[in-house]
Amino acid sequence: MSSPAAAAASVPAPMAPDALARYDGYGDMRFGMDGVAFGKAWGGELNGAPDAGSTCFYKSPKWAKLPGDIRFMFEDGRFVRYDVGTAKEAAPGGGKVGMDEAQIRNLYGPVVQAQPHKYVTGAQYLRIAAAQGGGVLLFETDEHGKVARWRVGVPPQVDYVEGCS
């Protein structure tokens, strides 16, 4: 039988009760919500709409200075992922843009799975699945091992390397 300390080290760090970033969504928005329910839960203005014939698209808060700061992915009419590219937002468990791989591993423990980046030599994807199933947190590092952006979503969309395209 494993010790309580070993068991605790095998699960992602808990999130703060008032945290917006969650493994099952963001704030009051939960993965699987349709666009109408998402809009009501968001309660503010959002930019973005699907292109003709597209089943996948992003919405961004109207207040976001850059679309890459935070954006919400919808596929087949459902909220499935959100992407963050600013250090102003903390991921579930406390990871942030600008941290290095060692800091991420220190926060999340042995559940971090590293994979090589598809396009950038020396960069990685650091993947952390929620302990209770459902969402996945994925940090994307640059060639220096620093987190450049992160995202949370449900498979398979969380693993889409190029967003909707």
CATH number (domain holding residue 140): 2.60.460
Q: What percent of the chain has pLDDT over 70?
A: 88
C-beta separation of 70 from 89 below 8 A: yes
Taking CA 104 as the corner, what is the angle to CA 95 and CA 107, rounded to the nearest 5 degrees?
A: 80
Question: Is 95 among the domain residues?
Answer: yes
Phi first, then psi: what are they for 108, rounded to 5°? -105, -15
Question: Is 31 among the domain residues?
Answer: yes
Question: Is 36 among the domain residues?
Answer: yes
Which pLDDT does position 1 carry in this prediction? 39
Question: Is 157 among the domain residues?
Answer: no
Domain extent, residue 95, equals: 4-152
| Tokens standing for residue 157 | 């969309």
Residues of the chain with pLDDT under 70: 1-18
Q: Tell whether pTM > 0.85.
A: yes
Which pLDDT does position 66 carry in this prediction? 82
Question: Is 92 among the domain residues?
Answer: yes
Question: Is 159 among the domain residues?
Answer: no
Total structural domains within the chain: 1
Question: Is 107 among the domain residues?
Answer: yes
Question: Is 161 among the domain residues?
Answer: no
